[in-house]
């Protein structure tokens, strides 16, 4: 069994290089039930491609939830005088996100927005991945975002913070080991940020749902280590409504597969992941947090983001199997695909080739 890793990419970076794999899956392509019986099908933005709206395509794919991000570091390059007021002159809200949120509403889609990265005025003039800021400053930004986009009620807190390239300070750890003091700093710090943002967003609008954790399969600290060490100073787990995870996998999705190596929690481990989250992060009133599978993709050619790829036919088979699992598990709230189009040489995990040709995976996602 090989380990799936992310290469340097727009969202995340992996540790070290790896050999590209061509995988062959043994799976069957079965007719999928109606999508209304499934967990929500989600799609990461952007909302446009070559100047044209992608929402007609998302509708064709039967997408029910649109995902995008708000980079605090870019939106508030200087400290706002009235940080909870979205109209403060210091804020520069991204026009594309604003347009996409409005268009998603027109198409009857829910929206989930990720709050990520810190401006230099907040984190001591460090790079954006450094989370050395006052939690109140991040809370203020979260409240301003909620007021800016009142139709949005799903909020992801950071993206893949268990990766050293995305969240600092973080000291990497080997799988299966108990984290040392310096390795506990990152999950403990993230837990305080998450819990504080939860309180602020709930106070802004009780309808807001907060998604925390935001791990992926192969990171600097494994998902299992991250989850079991998400603790506040009093020992309790942080508050969250759903647990976010990106279940990237190099094997065909099947709940009968054995546990993945290195505590990764890939798509085949979703039942195990749900149980582990409930055991470690369940709280009164939310004993079994649902899973929000923010990102999933299956490359069909060599790219700079992942260390494996499969044939187009295999991508379609895996999509069919993955969406069936998402329908079968009541613990899965949504499963999101990232990259609609290939953008070689950067990434080849799209459902549409760079020349506009739809892959077999496109039709599998549409039917799933």
Mean pLDDT on 337-362:
97
Question: Which residue matches tokens 């996100």?
Answer: 97
List, for residues 292-320, the tens digit of each pLDDT value. Answer: 999 999 999 999 999 999 999 999 999 99
CA separation (Å) from 250 to 58, 264, 285? Answer: 26, 11, 36
List, for residues 12-42, the tens digit of each pLDDT value. Answer: 333 233 333 333 333 333 333 233 334 899 9
- Concatenated DSSP letters of 262-290: GG---GGGHHHHHHHHHHHH-BTTBSSPE
Rg value, the chain, Cα: 19
Examine the pLDDT at 233 and tell me if it is beyond 60: yes
Residue 226: both structure tokens together: 């991250």
Decide if 21 is inside a domain: no
List, for residues 236-247, the tens digit of each pLDDT value. Answer: 999 999 999 999
Question: Which residue matches tokens 């079994």?
Answer: 288
Mean pLDDT on 134-159:
98
* Residue 192 burial (CB count, 10 A): 15
Which pLDDT belongs to residue 39? 81
Examine the pLDDT at 182 and tell me if it is beyond 80: yes
Report strand pairing: 52-53 vs 48-49: antiparallel
Mean pLDDT on 253-270:
97
Q: For the chain, what is the domain count? A: 1
Instruction: Tell me how far apart the alpha carbons of residues 96 and 11 are, in angstroms, rounded to a whole number.
Output: 18
Work out the burial of residue 244: count CB atoms within 10 Å of its CB; fewer than 13 is exposed, 13-18 middle, 19 or more buried: buried
Name the packing angle between helices 312-328 and 360-367 (round to 10°): 10
Examine the pLDDT at 70 and tell me if it is beyond 90: yes
Question: The domain containing residue 350 runs over which residues?
Answer: 33-367
pTM: 0.91
Decide if 361 is inside a domain: yes
Decide if 17 is inside a domain: no
Contact (CB, 8 A) for 118 and 76:
no
Mean pLDDT on 133-157:
98
User: For the domain that residue 236 is a member of, what is the CATH number?
Assistant: 3.20.20.80
Decide if 7 is inside a domain: no
Decide if 23 is inside a domain: no
Residue 74 parent element (H or E): helix 72-75
Q: How confident is the model at residue 2 (pLDDT cuts 50, 70, 90)?
A: very low
Decide if 71 is inside a domain: yes
Average pLDDT of the chain? 91
Q: How confident is the model at residue 5 (pLDDT cuts 50, 70, 90)?
A: low
Instruction: Tell me how far apart the alpha carbons of residues 221 and 173 are, in angstroms, rounded to a whole number.
Output: 5
Decide if 348 is inside a domain: yes
Decide if 18 is inside a domain: no
- State what percent of residues in the chain have pLDDT above 90: 89
């Amino acid at each position: 069994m090989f380990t799936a890793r992310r290469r340097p990419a727009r969202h995340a970076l992996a540790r070290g290089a790896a050999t590209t794999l061509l995988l062959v899956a043994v799976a069957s392509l079965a007719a999928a039930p109606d999508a209304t019986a499934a967990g929500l099908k989600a799609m990461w933005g952007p909302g446009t491609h070559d100047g044209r709206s992608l929402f007609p395509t998302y509708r064709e794919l039967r997408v029910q939830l649109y995902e995008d991000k708000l980079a605090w570091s870019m939106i508030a390059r200087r400290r706002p005088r009235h940080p909870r007021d979205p109209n403060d002159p210091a804020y520069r809200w991204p026009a594309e996100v604003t347009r996409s949120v409005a268009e998603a509403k027109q198409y009857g889609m829910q929206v989930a927005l990720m709050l990520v990265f810190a401006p230099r005025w907040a984190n001591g003039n460090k790079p954006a991945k450094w989370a050395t800021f006052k939690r109140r400053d991040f809370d203020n930004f979260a409240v301003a975002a909620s007021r800016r986009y009142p139709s949005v009620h799903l909020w992801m807190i950071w993206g893949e913070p268990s990766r050293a390239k995305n969240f600092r300070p973080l000291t990497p750890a080997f799988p299966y080991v108990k984290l040392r003091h310096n390795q506990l700093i990152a999950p403990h710090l993230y837990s305080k940020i998450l819990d504080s943002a939860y309180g602020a967003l709930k106070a802004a609008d009780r309808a807001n749902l907060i998604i925390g954790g935001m791990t992926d399969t192969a990171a600097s600290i494994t998902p299992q280590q991250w989850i079991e060490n998400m603790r506040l100073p009093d020992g309790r787990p942080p508050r969250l409504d759903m647990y976010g995870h990106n279940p990237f996998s190099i094997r065909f999705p099947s709940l009968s597969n054995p546990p993945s190596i290195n505590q990764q929690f890939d798509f085949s481990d979703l039942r195990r992941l749900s149980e582990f989250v409930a055991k470690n992060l369940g709280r009164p009133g939310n004993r079994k947090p649902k899973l929000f599978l923010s990102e999933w993709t299956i490359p069909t050619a060599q790219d700079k983001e992942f260390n494996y790829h499969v044939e187009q036919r295999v991508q379609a088979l895996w999509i069919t199997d993955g969406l069936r699992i998402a329908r079968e598990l009541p613990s899965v709230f949504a499963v999101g695909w990232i990259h609609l189009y290939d953008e070689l040489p950067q990434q080849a995990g799209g459902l549409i080739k760079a020349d506009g040709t739809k892959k077999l995976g496109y039709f599998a996602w549409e039917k799933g």
